[in-house]
Amino acid sequence: MRLTSLDEMSETLGLRLGQGLAEARAIHPSVEVVDENPAADRSLLEAIADWCDRYTPLVAIDGEKGLLLDITGCAHLFGGEELLLNDVMLRLFQMGFDARGAISGWPGLSWAVCRFGHGGVVADRERETIAAPLPVAALRLEQDLVGALRKLGLKRIGDILPLPRAPLARRFGAQVLLRLDQMMGRVEEPISPRRPVPVLSCERRLLEPIRAEEDILHLAGQVALLLLPSLEARGAGGRVFELVLFRVDGKVFRIEAGASQPLREPQRIAALFSERLKAVHDDLDAGFGFEILRLNVLRHEDFRSTQTDFEGQGQQAASLGDFVDRVSARLGCHVLQGVALRQSHVPERASVFLPALDMPAASKRDDLHLGFQIRDRPVRLFRYPERVEAVAEVPDGPPFRFRWRRILHEVLRAEGPERISPEWWLDEEDPGERDYFRLEVMTGQRLWLYRKGHYHQDTAPGWYVQGVFA
């Protein structure tokens, strides 16, 4: 058992990371030890990352104890980089965290100054001056590589900067030069945010925290009104919205709501979250109140304006969409489902059930080309094909008699076969090649049967009823 983290008092007593627990207790018998909990540490770091969304939506987790924030275009909202950094550090200190931060034009340099320097804002012209006295471990290299550099006397980054690049790469590999170029800004190093960046976003910062649901919905409607010009400029409407509530103690709540049709109207957007707040009422702990309210548009689609006719057809469509949105927001997106067509001739794959909120627009469904006439397919398809006992005069022809549901049927008329083969490029289970027949029996029923397999094979083919015609 070894020490993985130390507080300030432990550091002043001379304890070090990686030290054995027995040795640490031999030096200071009264030292207090708590078992490490990586899952709890990760959860805490993710909570701090959610809290950092108030400064920028581009937040990435760096290792086990760090965060990377891309504040490009955000610093002026807080009075500049210096004031932004001071605000972050002050708020974290008030929440009980001992943190250190640095701002520069490159993630590698910020990482090094934050962990091996004194933090602060690093100007572009000062990057070599600030980086030179830092140890080579600040280059984010592996421990074996850091040890090899130290054995040759290359202990500081300033010792590596003037060296020729070609011999350095031959001796230690390209990783040293890559990390050095990333720190000096010669190579771009993008930050991958932990959450998808919203398409559009508006927020309201409050002087006094709010707690009541009525106040939250009122502000959500006002923020949705601010989104209206941006949506109109794009010619789009929102399909998925996210309401983000920042509590004064750092807790962040995210409430997502979807719409069956692209929305712009602030009242309807606020109505979605009215139902969502009713559904998550017990899980939404306002505590001492929320100080920031943000509304994000996570997904949008083209908005098609419709004019209501004299019969009120447009209003009926809007009412149906509003009903779908409210029920899905209140009871869950999987409560209401619809059938969407897919490009496949296999009956089981030709349609799929989707949540009503994820159903494609009518224009997209009209463009779907199925490749067969609708009248060639039965009006009712069974969920699972039903096995029958059939007798056919010709091996590849239709049956003239079959037993289905314990009733013997005589075939009066038959049409087929229609051979349907599965898509070879799909990884799904292969349903096998089928020969379909449209049959009319003596009782007047019209059925859709298929034969799976052939009579000349080792195993006898199987006959199944797939559906019933009108």
Pairing of strands 102-103, 120-121: parallel
Q: pLDDT at position 368, please?
A: 46
Q: pLDDT at position 373, please?
A: 58
* Coarse DSSP helix, strand, coil percentages of the chain, rounded to the nearest 5 percent: 35, 25, 35
Quote the CATH superfamily of domain 200-330.
DNA polymerase, Y-family, little finger domain (3.30.1490.100)
Q: pLDDT at position 429, please?
A: 67
Q: pLDDT at position 379, please?
A: 86
CATH class of 1-36: alpha beta
Cβ–Cβ under 8 Å, residues 287 and 231? no
State how far the Cα of 243 lies from the Cα of 51, in Å rounded to an integer. Answer: 14
- Can you tell me whether residue 210 is helix, strand or coil? strand
Q: 169: Cβ–Cβ under 8 A, 6 or more apart, which residues? A: 176, 177
| pLDDT averaged over 10-residue windows placed end to end, the chain, 470 residues | 87 86 88 89 93 93 92 91 95 91 94 92 91 93 92 92 91 92 90 90 93 92 93 91 93 90 89 86 85 94 69 57 79 80 81 79 47 71 91 88 94 92 75 90 94 82 92
- The domain spans of the chain are 1-36, 41-184, 200-330, 374-468
Tokens of 1: 């058992």
Tell me whether domains 1-36 and 200-330 share a fold: no
- Give the DSSP letter of residue 54: G
> 343-356: buried (b, 16+ CB within 10 Å) or exposed (e) per residue?
ebbbbbebeeeebb
- Give the DSSP letter of residue 344: -
Cβ–Cβ under 8 Å, residues 288 and 209? yes
